[in-house]
Amino acid sequence: MAPNVNLQRRKHQRDIEKFRKELLKQEKQQKKLQEKEQKKQQERERRKQQNKDRSALLAKERCKRYYENKKQKKMAAEATASIIRFSINRFVHNEFRFGFASSKL
């Protein structure tokens, strides 16, 4: 009976070792999966932050272009008004200078 007991004990120890190895293997796999998920989450967060930064930068650029265009339009309008005023003043000055105004009356 003694050899039988030893066989059972060794079998039991082998089963325990087998179970322990299997458990360690599962823990490693689970840890790998968790790390993988964590990396995915970090990558998503990084892309989200990049998009947010890019969006803010684009909005800033749009505002900048808007105000630059507004400034250019204002300058163009002022230049046009200045040319018109100059032309009117020149016309009026020439009219009085050459007597066109008096000849029409």
pLDDT at res. 100: 56
Six token digits for residue 16: 């325990």
Question: Could you give the CA distance from residue 87 to residue 74 in angstroms, rounded to a whole number?
Answer: 20
pLDDT at res. 103: 52
pLDDT at res. 105: 47
What residue has token string 């322990």?
20
Question: Could you give the CA distance from residue 99 to residue 105 in angstroms, rounded to a whole number?
Answer: 10
pLDDT at res. 93: 72
pLDDT at res. 19: 96
pLDDT at res. 92: 75
DSSP characters over 39-94? HHHHHHHHHHHHHHHHHHHHHHHHHHHHHHHHHHHHHHHHHHHHHHHHHHHHHHHH
What are the pLDDT tens digits along the chain (105 aa)?
A: 466 878 888 899 999 999 999 999 999 999 999 999 999 999 999 999 999 999 999 999 999 999 999 999 999 999 999 999 988 888 777 766 666 555 554
Question: Could you give the CA distance from residue 33 to residue 39 in angstroms, rounded to a whole number?
Answer: 10
